[in-house]
Amino acid sequence: MSKTRKIKMSTGYKIFNVINHILLLILVFVTVYPMYYIFIVSISNGIYVSRGEVHLLPKGITLSAYKTVFQNSDIWRAYLNTIIYTTVGTAINIVLSSMCAYPLSRKDFYGRPVFTFIVAFTMFMSGGMIPLYLVVLKLGLIDTIWSIVLPPAINTFNMIIMRTFFQDIPVSLQESAFLDGANDLQILWKIILPLSKPIMATMVLFYAVQHWNSFFSALIYLNSKSKYPVQILLRNIVIAGEFADQQTSIGNVESNFAVVAMNYKYAVIIISVVPILMVYPFLQKHFAKGVMIGALKG
Amino acid sequence: MKTTQNAIGGKMREKRKSHFIRQVKRSKYLYLIFFLPLCYYILFHYWPMYGIIIAFKDYNVVKGILGSPWVGFKHFEKFLTDPYFWKLVRNTLLINIYGLFWSFPAPIVLALLLNELPNRGFKKFVQSVSYLPHFISTVVVCGMIVNFLSSDGFVNQILIALGRERIQFLMRPEWFRTIYIASGIWQNVGWGSIVYLAALAGIDEELYEAATIDGANRWKQMIHITLPGIKPTISIMLIMNLGRLMSIGYEKIILLYNGSTYETADVISTYVYRRGLLGNDFSYATAVSLFQSVVGLILLYTSNKISNKLSETGLW
């Protein structure tokens, strides 16, 4: 806060300040500890975990759970699928969202109010799960990558954030390009997009995280096991506790299956979260800006 | 006279027409750019909206949407007289009302606490950490819940250490809402606070200076300056939440519930999923979901109206 508010620090405020710090530290602990716990369990010896001896530090450090996970070809394939869905999906998101946002950002776009309404209306009304499913079925997209990447191609909220950003780019830049004989396509490509790198970075992260974490569309649209993304596999292993294929390989690594099961699950969780954690510093930097634009002007 | 009028009218019409054509021509590249997004909205938003009419038909995959016979309000009558449907409405409302009571104030309180921190570095640190869970997938969060609350999981280990009985949390209907709401707060409190922090940053610093000179302490400053300053944001967020009272994200519930917790955990959207996609009862499920979204729209409209009257802020 500003210096003016720091000058007067009464005893009451000092006490409050201490309590405030403690409360927020508790929040930090509660947020981080579950994830930290999963990490230390995943690298601890299962025997100590089942005895309830792993709390703050890993005990009997072993990477056997990770070895088992990496021996599982299903996980590799699911990982590859998720990477494909995320890359293709995000590329489509960015292209379509900017193609939608740019015309809507132009005040001289003839018919703009009508198109804005058509787009904004979908934020309040939707066909719902079943009619959308029937459309995807009718288009013949079931059990293909397109059923995963096309239905969420534009997130209207994100698109509006983008439009707001485009609107804030000085019109004079576009006008002078126009006088130089550039058409709208060239303006979008050569002027708007190069000036929109920060918002594009934010959007890439938003959309990519969304694809990486998405599981429901895969659950309803995909039938073949070979096309499952990581999240579906994660659900089957971690929540439903399916070990059919892994049981034998785990049996080889350690004798007690039940003991290793937990390490195994937690190792799978860690592997699926690592990419998110790696991009998190970038996310951190960009997303707050995006949310602010959306919140203040959306 | 008449002929001249006609001539003028015709000229004006022509002029308007040529104006229209000129405008369209001027925007032709913009239309070209907008074409694909428009196709997207038509295919994946408006076509499904059109598909809602199967709620009034007995939909049959072979006959298609148009070929299936009309049945009027048959499906609506069926679920409005079904006692289980009212249980679903009750569950949906209760989970949202309790959720509103606990989850809505949490980010506001967090934003206020963060705002009182004199140390910017610490504030940044707490913010960075508290946003993190928002980016973790629902599946991972539910996986953590399921494993921490399992009979030999982390929470039960603590209970045993304290000399208490083991609790099968996810098998007990009375625990479901608590688990759902608490994990929701854990995941979203930090992220939710961003909007309020933005509003707090917009409050004029001079107001605080003036108040300090007038001898108002921090508490009084908060009541008289800070809270009124973020009141518009709070009311907009509240309207949005009230509009959502009848709907709820199904993903997390589908991952967490099971037969023994349907009593409190089964909500309208999960029922639509089971009935429609697992049971192939497309028309009935669409009718249920249409009912839900219509009630949702009415709620949103009403709460916006009330907010406009009371505080002159609203979504529109």
Mark B122-134 as b/e (b = at least 16 C-beta within 10 Å).
bbeebbbbbbbbb
Q: Flag the least confident range among A1-10, A53-62, A115-124, A230-239.
A: A1-10
Best probe of the B interface among A23, A130, A277, by most B CBs < 10 A, is A130
Mark B190-225 as b/e (b = at least 16 C-beta within 10 Å).
bbbbbbbbbbbeeeeeeebeebbeeebebeebeeeb
Contacts of A97 in chain B (CB under 8 A): 37
Of A38, A125, A284, which is closest to B131 when you measure between CB atoms?
A: A284
* CATH number of this structure's domain A73-226: 1.10.3720.10
The identity of residue B226, as a single letter, is T
Q: What is the distance in angstroms between the Cα of A177 and the nearest Cα belonging to chain B? A: 15
Q: What is the distance in angstroms between the Cα of A295 and the nearest Cα belonging to chain B? A: 6
Please indicate whether, in this complex, the C-beta atoms of A124 and B297 are within 8 angstroms of each other.
yes
What pLDDT tens digit does each residue of chain B (316 aa) get?
Answer: 555 566 666 666 677 777 888 888 888 899 999 999 999 999 999 999 999 999 999 998 888 888 889 999 999 999 999 999 999 999 999 999 999 999 999 999 999 999 988 888 899 899 989 989 998 999 999 999 998 898 878 888 889 889 888 888 988 999 999 999 999 999 999 989 988 998 898 888 888 888 888 888 888 888 889 999 898 889 888 888 888 888 788 889 999 998 888 989 999 999 999 999 899 899 999 999 999 999 988 988 888 888 888 777 766 6
A 134-173: CB under 8 A from B: 134-135, 139, 150-151, 153-154
Q: What is the distance in angstroms between the Cα of B2 and the nearest Cα belonging to chain A? A: 34
Count, residues in chain A = 298
The rounded distance, in Å, linking the Cα atoms of B63 and A143 is 22
Q: What is the distance in angstroms between the Cα of B6 and the nearest Cα belonging to chain A? A: 29
Give the per-residue pLDDT at A251: 44
Give the per-residue pLDDT at A82: 96
Predicted TM-score of the model (pTM): 0.86
Q: Please tell me if residue A204 touches chain B, with a CB cutoff of 8 Å.
A: no
- Domains in chain B, start-ordered, CATH in brackets? 2-56 (no CATH), 74-311 (1.10.3720.10)
Only one residue has tokens 């800070």, namely B226
Give the per-residue pLDDT at A8: 54
pLDDT in tens, B242-261: 888 887 888 899 999 988 88
Please indicate whether, in this complex, the C-beta atoms of A132 and B194 are within 8 angstroms of each other.
no
pLDDT in tens, A146-185: 999 999 999 999 999 899 889 988 888 888 888 888 888 9
CB atoms within 10 A of CB A2: 10
Q: Please tell me if residue A18 touches chain B, with a CB cutoff of 8 Å.
A: no
H or E, element range at A23: helix A11-42
Q: Flag the least confident range among A115-119, A259-263, B43-47.
A: A259-263
A 65-104: CB under 8 A from B: 96-97, 99-100, 102-104
Query: Is residue A21 predicted with pLDDT exceeding 90?
Result: yes
Please indicate whether, in this complex, the C-beta atoms of A27 and B110 are within 8 angstroms of each other.
yes
Residue B117 three-state SS: coil
Give the per-residue pLDDT at A1: 44
Query: Is residue A250 predicted with pLDDT exceeding 70?
Result: no
Of A128, A209, A235, which is closest to B293 when you measure between CB atoms?
A: A128
Q: What is the distance in angstroms between the Cα of A235 and the nearest Cα belonging to chain B? A: 6
Distances (CA, A) of B150 to A100, B123, B146, B156, B266: 47, 35, 6, 7, 21
**Domain locations in chain A as residue ranges:** 11-71+245-297, 73-226
What are the φ and ψ backbone dihedral angles of A10, each rounded to 5 degrees?
-75, 165
Here the ipTM equals 0.86
Closest CA to A106 of A198, A196, A184, A202: A184
Please indicate whether, in this complex, the C-beta atoms of A128 and B48 are within 8 angstroms of each other.
yes
Contacts of B272 in chain A (CB under 8 A): 128-130
Give the per-residue pLDDT at B310: 77
Please indicate whether, in this complex, the C-beta atoms of B51 and A16 are within 8 angstroms of each other.
no
Structure tokens at A151: 């239905």
The identity of residue A258, as a single letter, is A
Most confident of A99-103, A122-126, A170-174, A176-180: A99-103
Of A32, A209, A292, which is closest to B129 when you measure between CB atoms?
A: A32
Q: Please tell me if residue A209 touches chain B, with a CB cutoff of 8 Å.
A: yes
Structure tokens at A241: 């506790």
Closest CA to B258 of B175, B152, B166, B154: B175
Give the per-residue pLDDT at B10: 65
